[in-house]
Amino acid sequence: MFQGLVHRVRFYRDSLRPWWILVFALWTLFSNAAFLRDEFLPLDIQKKWSTLAILPEWGWQTWLIGVLAILLFFAMEGSYRKWEREHRRVENLEAQLRQARTVPVVSSVFIVQHLEHTFYWRDEHRGLQAFHPEVVAQSGAQRVMQVQVRIEAPSMLVEYIGLEIMGQRLQSDWKARRLDAPHWQYVYLDIPQSVNAGPHIVRLIARTHDKESPSLDFEISVPHT
């Protein structure tokens, strides 16, 4: 009930707003004219142009009917103007909705995610050996990091996937390709000797021709060789 009253008050306020401005402007003009008359004009002119002298000699009933008629006209005219504004707004929204239905929705999301990773070392036959406590890696062997990545880049040509570590970027063996759906893949990166063994906070970087997308930071532990 209270909410309905609030809505009515807002409706009447919006409907009658232009007319209240007009009434306020007329009242301001009349008040200033009356002030100038009473303060600066001679007494005979003040008497001639007094408010009661220039008003028609009508009974209060006539004045009341006149005021009510004016208010009714203002309310009807204001209501029509408000309805017209709302009607135009609805038509614009419907036109935008029709236009939106005819435009294909193309997602512009570009995401690269780290799912898991494993470290290997490359033997003299270029084969990959997993790091294992019972297997001693050759001294100075090339360390290789295998990373499973998930990429969302609809209708985008993903040209590069790399790893950002210790202020440098390591390029993976990713081959440039255009993706039309979420994609999962293992990529491999050579870890240079300049990267110290031990824990590091790193992130993946995917790149198209005009934008880059970093993954969330994650921790790795680079093994010794």
- 110 pLDDT more than 60: yes
- 5 pLDDT more than 70: no
Least confident range from 14-18, 64-68, 211-215: namely 14-18
Sorting pLDDT into bands at 50, 70 and 90, what band is 97? confident
Question: What are the residue boundaries of the structural domains of the chain, listed by start?
Answer: 2-102, 111-222
Kindly list the distances between the CA atom of residue 152 and the CA atoms of 10, 59, 107, in Å, as whole numbers in the listed order: 48, 81, 10
- CATH among 2.60.40, 3.40.50, 1.10.3470, 1.10.150 for 111-222: 2.60.40
The mean pLDDT of the chain is 80
pLDDT of 2: 61
* Beta carbons within 10 angstroms of residue 153's beta carbon: 24
More confident residue, 32 or 201: 201
Phi-psi group of 166: left, alpha or beta (phi > 0 → left; psi -120 to 50 → alpha; rest → beta):
left
